[in-house]
């Protein structure tokens, strides 16, 4: 029985010895033993605190109203004399043109709740399937039918984030410039067809975007939302794509 108690006491002493030694190693400047301080726990950080930049890629569909801009010959010197100085009238309104395309962009977060700046470039294509238009202002009133419409747009803006991990909501305001290029078959009642020409328009645009991101992992998220452009070519846009963070 005594042997068992001796072994038990030795085991307890061996267990406590490292703590005693560790505390004995804590001394003040004079060499006197002092209580050992417990090191503070490491600070907790989430990966979101270290994010500053981001980039986007998303397809979109624009419902566009072309009636707010002036389409003129893209290269006046290449069109017949009758078309020089002319512009298109009667372009589809009420968001009758659907332009599909994609946007690439990115931005910076100086603080977690602010996006400034946010920049993007968009490319798109639509088909008006031969919509009839008037061509006026040249040497003679003409008619035309519009088929392919190409679009390129650059935007810059800024806005705010609301981070509800793993979902992040955002609201942006932006301004931009868009170029629109329409392929027009030109003709006249008395002269017949004059061939196909490109008419273009420049659009100064301002609007806002609202959307959300759903995190897939620490570096990638789904992003989708809605954009409205008020000026120039007025548009309602819906998009869905990917957002990367770094």
Spell out where 27-113 has E strands.
Answer: 53-65, 72-73, 87-89, 97-108
Instruction: Look at residue 114 in the predicted model and tell me its pLDDT.
Output: 96
Average pLDDT of the residues in 21-50: 63
Residue of 223, 209, 210 whose CA lies nearest to 176: 209
Q: What pLDDT is recorded for position 40?
A: 66
Pairing state between β 72-73 and 97-108: unpaired
Instruction: Please list the residues that pair with 57 across neighbouring strands.
Output: 104, 242
**Tokens of residue 26, six digits:** 């804590």
pLDDT computed for residue 22 by the predictor? 45
Flag the least confident range among 34-43, 99-108, 124-133, 207-216: 34-43
Q: 3-class SS at 16?
A: helix
Contact 203, 179 (CB under 8 A): yes
The DSSP letter of residue 44 is P
Report helix, strand or coil for 205: strand
How many H helices and E strands in the chain?
1, 10
58 in Cβ contact with 221 (< 8 Å): no
For the chain, the farthest-separated pair of C-alpha atoms sits apart, in whole angstroms, at 127
Tally the C-alpha atoms within 13 A of residue 30's C-alpha that lie toward its C-beta: 3
Environment class of 165 (CB within 10 Å of its CB; exposed 0-12, middle 13-18, buried 19+): exposed
pLDDT score for 55: 97
| pLDDT given at position 21 | 41
Question: CA separation (Å) from 131 to 81, 97, 100, 167, 198?
Answer: 24, 10, 18, 43, 15
Alpha carbon distance 115, 157 (integer Å): 8
CATH of domain 54-245: 2.40.160.20
Task: End-to-end CA distance of the chain: give it in Å, rounded.
Answer: 67
* 126 C-beta neighbours (distance < 10 Å), count: 25
Q: With contact defined as beta carbons under 8 Å apart, do 152 and 177 qualify?
A: no
CB atoms within 10 A of CB 55: 14
Instruction: Give me the pLDDT at residue 58, please.
Output: 97
Inform me whether the pLDDT recorded for 160 exceeds 80: yes
Give the confidence band of 78 by pLDDT, cuts at 50, 70, 90: confident
């Amino acid at each position: 029985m005594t042997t068992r108690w001796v072994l038990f006491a030795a085991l307890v002493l061996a267990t406590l010895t490292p703590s005693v030694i560790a505390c004995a190693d804590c001394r003040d400047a004079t060499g006197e033993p002092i209580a050992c301080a417990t090191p503070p726990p490491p600070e907790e950080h989430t990966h979101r605190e270290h994010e500053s930049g981001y980039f986007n890629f998303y397809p979109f569909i624009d419902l566009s109203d072309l009636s707010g801009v002036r389409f003129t010959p893209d290269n006046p010197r290449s069109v017949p004399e009758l078309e020089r100085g002319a512009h298109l009238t009667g372009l589809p309104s009420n968001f009758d043109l659907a332009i599909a395309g994609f946007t690439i962009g990115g931005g910076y977060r100086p603080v977690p709740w602010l996006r400034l700046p946010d920049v993007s470039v968009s490319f798109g294509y639509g088909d008006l399937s031969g919509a009839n238009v008037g061509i006026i202002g040249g040497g003679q009133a003409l008619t035309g039918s519009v088929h392919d419409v190409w679009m390129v747009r650059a935007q810059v803006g800024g806005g705010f984030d609301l981070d509800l991990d793993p979902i992040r909501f955002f609201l942006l305001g932006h301004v931009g410039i868009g170029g629109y290029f329409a392929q027009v078959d030109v003709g006249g009642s008395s002269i017949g067809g004059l061939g196909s020409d490109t008419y273009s328009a420049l659009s100064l645009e301002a609007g806002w975007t609202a959307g959300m991101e759903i995190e897939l992992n620490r570096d990638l998220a789904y992003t989708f939302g809605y954009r409205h452009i008020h000026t120039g070519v007025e548009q309602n846009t819906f998009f869905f794509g990917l957002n990367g963070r770094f």
